A and B are shown apart, each in its own frame.
Chain A
Amino acid sequence: MTSRPTIALGNARVGFRGRIHALCVKGASAGLPEPELERRLIELGFVEGASVELLHQGLFGSDPIAVRVAHTTIALRRREAMAILVNAEASA
Chain B
Amino acid sequence: MNVASNLAPVVALVGNPNCGKTALFNALTGGRQKVANYPGVTVEKKVGRVVTPAGRAVRIVDLPGTYSLRARSPDEEITRDVVLGKLAGEGAPDLIVCVGDASNLRLALRLALELKKVGRPVVLALNMMDIARKRGIEIDTERLTRELGVPVVQSVAVRRGGTDALLGEIDRLLKNLPATSAADWRVPDASALRGGQHEADRVLRAAVKSSDERDRGTAAADAVLLHPVAGLLILLAILFVMFQAVFAWARPLMEVIQQGFAWLGAGVEVSPLPDLLKSFLKDGLISGVGSVVVFLPQIVILFFFILLLEDLGYMARAAFLMDRIMGGAGLHGRAFIPLLSSFACAIPGIMATRVIDDRRDRLTTILVAPLMTCSARIPVYTLIIGAFIPDRDVWGFIGLQGLVMFGLYAAGIAAALAVSFAIKRLVWHGAPGEPFMLELPDYKLPRLRSLAIGLWTRATIFLKRAGTTILAMMVLIWVLASFPQPPEGATGPAISYSLAAMIGSALQPITEPLGFNWQINVALIPGMAAREVAVGALGTIYAIDGGDVADKIGQAIAGQWSLATALALLAWYVFAPQCASTLAVIRRETGSWKWMWVTFAYMLGLAYVAALATYQIARALGGG
Contact = CB atoms under 8 A, between A and B. Distances in A.
Contacts of A68: 214
A47 B435 contact: no
A43 B320 CA distance: 19
B68 interface: yes
10 contacts: A29-B432, A40-B435, A43-B70, A44-B437, A50-B201, A58-B323, A66-B226, A66-B320, A70-B201, A71-B106
B325 interface: yes
Nearest to A35: B190
Contact of B435 (A32, A42, A43, A51): A32
A50 B139 CA distance: 20
Contact of A31 (B107, B316, B431, B439): B431
Nearest to B440: A73
B254 to A, nearest CB: 37
Nearest to B66: A43
Interface string B197-239: 1100100000000101010000000100011110010000000
A32 B434 contact: yes
Shortest 9 CB-CB distances between A and B: which pairs? A31-B432, A59-B228, A43-B67, A56-B226, A73-B440, A60-B324, A42-B193, A38-B190, A47-B197
Interface of A: 29-32, 35, 37-45, 47-51, 55-61, 63-64, 66, 68, 70-77, 79-80
Contact of B324 (A30, A64, A76): A64
B433 A42 contact: no
Contact of B433 (A31, A50, A57, A64): A31
A77 B323 CA distance: 9
Nearest to B229: A59
A8 to B, nearest CB: 15
A49 B333 CA distance: 29
B189 interface: yes
B56 to A, nearest CB: 35
Contacts of B432: 29-31
Contacts, number: 126
A49 B321 CA distance: 29
B440 A51 contact: no
Contacts of B106: 45, 70-72
Contacts of B212: 51, 70-71
B228 A57 contact: yes
Contacts of B324: 58-61, 63-64
A76 to B, nearest CB: 5
Contacts of A43: 67-68, 70, 107, 110, 193
Contacts of B358: 31
Nearest to A42: B193
A43 B436 CA distance: 14
Given A56-B222, A59-B229, A76-B437, 15 more contacts: A31-B358, A31-B432, A31-B435, A39-B190, A40-B437, A45-B197, A49-B198, A56-B227, A58-B324, A64-B320, A64-B436, A66-B226, A75-B436, A76-B435, A80-B436
A59 B232 contact: yes
A75 B210 contact: no
